[in-house]
Amino acid sequence: MMNLALVYLQAQAGGDYSFLIMMVAIFAIMYFFMIRPQNKKQKEIQNFRNNLQMGQDVVTAGGIYGKVKSIEGNVVVLEIASGVKIRIDKNSIYADAAATQQQAK
54-100 pLDDT, tens digit each? 999 999 988 899 999 999 989 999 999 999 999 999 999 988 776 66
DSSP strands (E only) in 33-92: 57-60, 65-72, 75-81, 84-89
pLDDT at 58: 93
Q: Would you list the domain boundaries of the chain?
A: 1-51, 53-105
- Which residues are CB-contacts of 97 (< 8 A; sequence separation ≥ 6)? 57, 58, 59, 65, 66
Report the chain's terminal Cα–Cα distance, integer Å: 75
CA separation for the pair 72, 53 (Å, rounded): 12
Which carries the bigger pLDDT value, residue 102 or residue 88?
88
Q: 61 near 67, Cβ under 8 Å?
A: no
pTM to 2 decimal places: 0.63
What's the chain's Rg over C-alpha atoms? Answer: 26
Average pLDDT, the chain: 83
Name the CATH topology of 53-105: SH3 type barrels. (2.30.30)
- Average pLDDT on 28-52 reads 91
